[in-house]
Amino acid sequence: MRIYVTSVLVDDQAKALDFYTDKLGFQVKHDIPLGEHRWLTVVSKEQPDGTELLLEPSSHPAVAPFKAALVADGIPATSFQVDDVDAEFERLKGLGVKFTLEPMDAGNVRMAVFDDTCGNLIQIMQITRQQP
């Protein structure tokens, strides 16, 4: 069994597509119109055949309070691994990405958290040392 697709709930698919491709550097894998919304997935340019991230519309009534609670508590919706958190922090900050948590060490990882402009906090993390 493998993970094929996972999702992040977004307030606006077009805005999310711009952010996730232009700022984060992902590439579109699928963009299929489905009435009012789209089956819109992106993948890492480093792993084009890897797990897809579905930019899923957050139109269900339960989503808004759920997302608001996560953001209020500072809980990221998902996490992306990077090779160098500090370098990625500087790159994204230079592109205007707003961070809610600057790079910090947390156990075996170095992490930072940013706002994806679509209602989510997203964590980037770097493994700094392997667990014994």
List, in order, residues 6 or more apart from 48 with CB less than 8 Å away.
27, 29
Q: How far apart are CA 130 and CA 79, in angstroms?
A: 18
Residue 63 Cα distances to 3, 58, 76, 96, angstroms: 23, 6, 15, 26
β-strand partners of 32: 39
Sign of CA dihedral 19, 23, 26, 29: positive
Domains and CATH numbers, the chain: 5-127 (3.10.180.10)
Does the pTM surpass 0.85? The reply is yes
DSSP state of 102: E
DSSP state of 90: H
Q: How far apart are CA 23 and CA 117, in angstroms?
A: 11
pLDDT per residue, tens digit, the chain (132 aa), is 999 999 999 999 999 999 999 999 999 999 999 999 999 999 999 999 999 999 999 999 999 999 999 999 999 999 999 999 999 999 999 999 999 999 999 999 999 999 999 999 999 999 998 766
Query: Environment class of residue 42 by beta-carbon count within 10 Å: exposed (0-12), middle (13-18) or buried (19+)?
Result: buried
